[in-house]
Every structure is written in C-alpha cells, then in structure tokens.
Structure 1
Amino acid sequence: MLIRKAVKSDSEAIWKVHYDAIKNVCSSHYTQNQLEVWAGKLKQSSYIESIETKIMFVAEVNSVIVGFGQLNLANGEIEAVYVISSNLRLGIGKELFQKLETIAKEKGIRELSLISSLNAVKFYKQLGFTPKNEKTHKIAEDTVLQCVEMEKAI
C-alpha cells in the first residue's frame, strides 16, 4: 500500500471511494433514503478544491485508490477518512489517519476534532478519540444524519 498526497487528477477516484463507502459501509447505521441523499450530494469537482486548500492523502493498492483522508489545518478538524468497502479492515483507514495526525503535530496542532458517522465511532475510539456530543447533520430539507462530535489531544 502507498499513502501519498492527493493531486487534482485523483478527484474522480476519490469521489468513487467516498460514494462507495457511504452506500456500502454506512448502511449498517443509516436508512437507504439517508444514504441516497448523502451520496447523491457528492460532486467530483468539490474534491479538487479540497486537494488545493486542505491536507488530503490517498491510499493506493496496486495503483488503485482505495481510500482517502482529509485534514483542515485551519481548525484541526479531520474532515474525512474513507475506505472503499472492498478494502475494509486492512489498516488503510488507520494509516491514512496516522499520516494526517503526523502532519497536524508537525504544524503545531494540539487537538484534533471530527464529526463521525455512527458506523465510524468505534474506529475513531480505537484511534484515541473521545465522543463529546451527539448531534444531527441536516443534509437535505427532509433528511438528517445522526452523528457524534469527537476529539483527541495530540
């Protein structure tokens, strides 16, 4: 596996990972309607802006992008760690997170925060995050997602 900085030409592959993870990994905790609305809001072009303005890494296996992670240095927020459903539980998400955490430490960030989907709470707890608040995230006029705010001192 290779972890590398994302480049603009990765945007379609990142979108595919994100879409797959929502539809197939998050289905354990959210309804089909919630998943359809959530995944339907994803736009390939939005990843280009994140690649240019935030810290984003991709994970490759056999030259195929199978995961990505994103850090917002401005506020110390882990905005994404997603792995395609066919490559779960192989340590890919953990390695992506550790890369982001290393960058955050190097930049002087002392605490990381994130908003976790319900299915990922256990994953983030294993990485040392502590749940702070349960909340809802409105993704459409008639659709909300339950999620958990979490933080970790680094």
Structure 2
Amino acid sequence: MLTIRKANRDDAFDAWDIRKTSVHAACAEHYPRAALSAWVDGSPGDKWVSVVERYFYVAVDRGSVVGTGMLTLASGQVDAIFVRPSHMGRGIGRKMLDSLQALAAEHGLDAMRLDATLNAVPFYRNCGWSGDSVSTYRTARGLELACVPMTKLVIVGG
C-alpha cells in the first residue's frame, strides 16, 4: 500500500537516487545527455540533506521510498516530483501532487506553481495544471534547461 509521509534525514540518499534515475529515464528524449548528467549526477551534500529534511515528502511502497515531492509553503512552489523508474506509470506522481495540494489547502494557499520539464508537461496537464510558455529553469548547479512554468489553483478537496 502506498503512503506519503514527511521526509527525514534518512531519506536523503533515496531521494537523490530517485531524482537521478528518474531524470535519466524520463528526460532523455527531451534534453541532451550531458545536460542531464550535469544536472543530477554526483553525490548529495549536506545542503541536499537539509532541503530533503525541511521540505520533502516521500511516497513509500512496501517499506521502500519510491517517489518524492517538495512544497515550499511560503511560495507555493512545487519541486522534485520524481518517481523511481521501476514504479513509473502507477499513479504515484499524481498521488504525491494530490497530497501536496491538500497540504497547500491546509495552509491557506490559493495557488501552487512549478517549472515542468518538457517531458512532464502532459502529466501535469492531466493533473489539472496549466501553462504553455517555454521558459528557462536554472538549476542549483547553474545549468539552464527549457521548462514550462505551470500553475494550479488550490481547491479544498480537489
């Protein structure tokens, strides 16, 4: 049974691995391989562990972390919606988004926003997000990637 819970320090390495493997599996047809490697390869540092502990949520299936999501309540920014490639297509990303929306509603947010990778735009649209214009996402490592800024109104229960 899939559950979603607040992440802790011990989830940082799983979150890093899920991010890395998900990006390489899902984004390969939309971005150059070198850009993907520059974005997600390497090892997590203390800053990553701190961000995971502070902002991340994890999807757990049968005791294993299989997905991640992040919501910054101060801004309504959603990030790090990643699912282990072995678990893609099972509704885990949608369940994570629904959970983050419920959290946003609990905290009185009117809207959420995110920067979708080009491959993920159809997924987010199917989940009720809107946005069409291609923009530039700047990673923490200074890499620039094409993205689509998207928004969704926070509807209690929806």
Question: TM-score of the superposition, structure 2-length normalised?
Answer: 0.88
Unmatched tracts of structure 1, length 5 or more: none
- State the 1:150 CA deviation: 0.5
Between the two proteins, the alignment pairs up a number of residues equal to 152
Unmatched tracts of structure 2, length 5 or more: none
- State the 1:5 CA deviation: 1.2
Aligned-residue Cα RMSD (Å) equals 1.8
How many Å separate the matches in 2 of 1:120 and 1:135? 14
Partner of 2:67: 67
Equivalent residues in 2 for 1:98-137, closer than 5 Å: 98-137=98-137
Cα deviation digits, residues 59-109 of structure 1 (max 9, x gap): 112211110100000100112211011110101001111111000001000
The 3-state SS of whatever aligns with 1:131 is coil
Distance 1:36 1:123, change over 3 A: same
Equivalent residues in 2 for 1:1-154, closer than 5 Å: 1-40=2-41, 43-54=44-55, 56-139=56-139, 143-154=143-154
What is the percentage of aligned positions where both structures have the same residue?
Answer: 30
How many Å separate the matches in 2 of 1:51 and 1:146? 24
Deviates more, 1:126-135 or 1:68-77: 126-135
- State the 1:44 CA deviation: 4.6
Contact kept? 2:19, 2:80, Cα under 8 Å? no
How many Å separate the matches in 1 of 2:49 and 2:87? 24
Contact kept? 1:15, 1:44, Cα under 8 Å? no
Distance 1:132 1:108, change over 3 A: farther
How many Å separate the matches in 1 of 2:36 and 2:52? 24
